[in-house]
Amino acid sequence: MNLKTILTITIALMISLVILFITPKEETLTPKNVYRVYLAGKSVGLINDKDSLDEYIDKEQQTLKDKYKADKVYAPEDLEIVKDITFKENISTTEEIYNKIKDIEPFTIKGYEITIEGLDTTNEQGEEIKGKDQTIYVLDKAVFEESMDNTIRSFVDSDNYDKYLNNEQKEIESGDTGTIIENIYIENKITIKETNIPSDETIYESVDDLSKYLLFGTLDEQQKYTVQRGDTISDVSFNNKLSNEEFLIANPEFTDANNLLYEGQNVTISIIKPQFRLVEIDHQVTTQDIPYETETRYDNSKYTNYEETIQEGVVGSQLVTSKVEKVNGQVENAVIDNTATKVLKEPIKRIIVKGTKQAGGSGGVNSGLSSNSKVEGYWLWPTRTPYYISSPYSYRWGTLHDGMDIAGAGYGSPIYASNNGIVVASSYKWDNGQYIVINHNNGYYTMYAHLAERYVSVGQEVTQGQTIGSMGQSGFATGVHLHFGLWRGFPYSRGSSSMNPMSLF
């Protein structure tokens, strides 16, 4: 072997050794079992121990534990930890993962999620409104249960409710009056489930706070009114767009609309907005007046300005048995059991004598009108008796109910003209249903709505007591009833105003 060959081999060996030492060995990759952390579906890193993150969160969130007196604080609701395998991906420390997630989503605590299912409704324009579910969070189920009980007792007489729950209600003796609760139920479906509650949600710890929310729909400060000299509950209620019933619900210290107020007293005038529909079915026996009739006799020897009462009318009385449906304390429907009605005292009719002799030109506001169109000095109740006033002239949920609803006489029962006049409207409208308006030629108009049928037409003269239609449930109505309205001017026209129909009787 010559020198050149030896030199070539030596150089080749040296280059091989250099390459061997410079080039690193190929690493043998070993898989590692780890846990991948996802927040809202996005990976935030890997950790070695799943439990270590839970423990670290609980340790670092001591303030949250103290605030809610919770035993443990948990990861955010959208955090998910799943097993994974890695070969060379970096593994984060528990602290690093905690710092990544702490400002993105809230941590959670154990509690209960209560869902009150929303109910579909129809607004005053006849449009269907989809019900909205309510979600309430509590740490203790007892807080919700006690709050619901408090709210129910806002709508139902507490003593009667206890008797109903304990099956201690007594039958109403013959000849007596009283109320028996037949059924109470919440129309909304309510579900309760244990869950982890995000700490940024409203969590009700106080029975008083949750009771307030269930009744008023807000935790905002309730609006107050300072009673002035001479104020009554009815005055304060109406002037602040409340019904008497709503006022009593918002101010449970009062038991009746006839309770006295004193000057300087503070009362709640916030409009209630219950978060559920409480239905109460009552069996009621009440005493009701039987109005007397008025008989008019005519004397052609007396002038037309002559009027004399020769027999005073006397109101009768009767025991009336009704089945009444209330929703959140407000009557929505009433049905009278006519077979159980008992007359206690028969009414005595009033008899008046009127002159018919003309002294000269007729003149006056009724000039040119027939005698049938002239307004009588008294007004007739527009339905048969017995009856039930299911909703008076008052505010309901902040909106003026501009008439009174008379129920109980039954579907198809007669509706009477309350006084003489001329029919100026006989038609159908989506809210009023079948309705009639009578002009009484003295500035007053009466309205009869939700009829089943109309028996008179526009331009027709009607006499007091004439049957003009029948009771129904047409239009925007809950239950069979007559909406009876009294107006100064044609209803809902410019410059007209509604009045309390009870002022007629």
pLDDT of res. 196: 95
505 residues of the chain, pLDDT tens digit each: 565 655 565 665 566 555 545 545 444 567 888 899 999 899 999 998 888 999 999 999 999 999 999 999 999 999 999 998 887 778 889 999 999 998 899 999 999 999 999 988 776 666 778 889 999 999 999 999 999 999 999 999 899 999 999 999 999 998 899 999 999 999 999 999 999 999 999 999 999 999 999 999 999 999 999 999 999 999 999 999 999 989 999 998 998 899 999 999 999 999 999 999 999 999 999 999 998 888 889 899 999 889 899 999 999 999 999 999 999 998 989 999 989 999 999 999 999 998 988 875 443 333 344 555 567 778 999 999 899 999 999 998 888 999 999 998 989 999 999 999 999 999 999 889 999 999 999 999 999 999 999 999 999 999 999 999 999 999 988 889 999 999 999 999 999 999 999 999 8
pTM to 2 decimals? 0.79
pLDDT of res. 363: 38
Which two three-digit tokens encode residue 256?
């009746």
CB 39 within 8 A of CB 101: yes
CB 480 within 8 A of CB 408: no
pLDDT of res. 19: 52
Q: H or E segment at 166?
A: none
Distance between CA atoms of residues 382 and 372, nearest Å? 17
CB 252 within 8 A of CB 215: no
Amino acid in the structure at residue 102: K
Distance between CA atoms of residues 433 and 474, nearest Å? 4
3-state secondary structure 305-358: CCEEEEECCECEEEEEEEEEEEECCEEEEEEECHHHCEEEECCECEEEEEEEEC
CB 165 within 8 A of CB 280: no
Q: Is 64 exposed, middle or buried (0-12, 13-18, 19+ CB in 10 A)?
A: middle
Q: Which CATH number fits domain 278-358+373-504: 3.40.50.970, 2.70.70.10, 3.30.2350.10, 1.10.10.10?
A: 2.70.70.10
CB 181 within 8 A of CB 275: no
| DSSP E strand stretches across 139-265 | 178-186, 190-198, 203-204, 224-226
Domain ranges of the chain: 32-105, 121-177+184-268, 278-358+373-504
Span between the terminal Cα atoms of the chain, in Å: 143
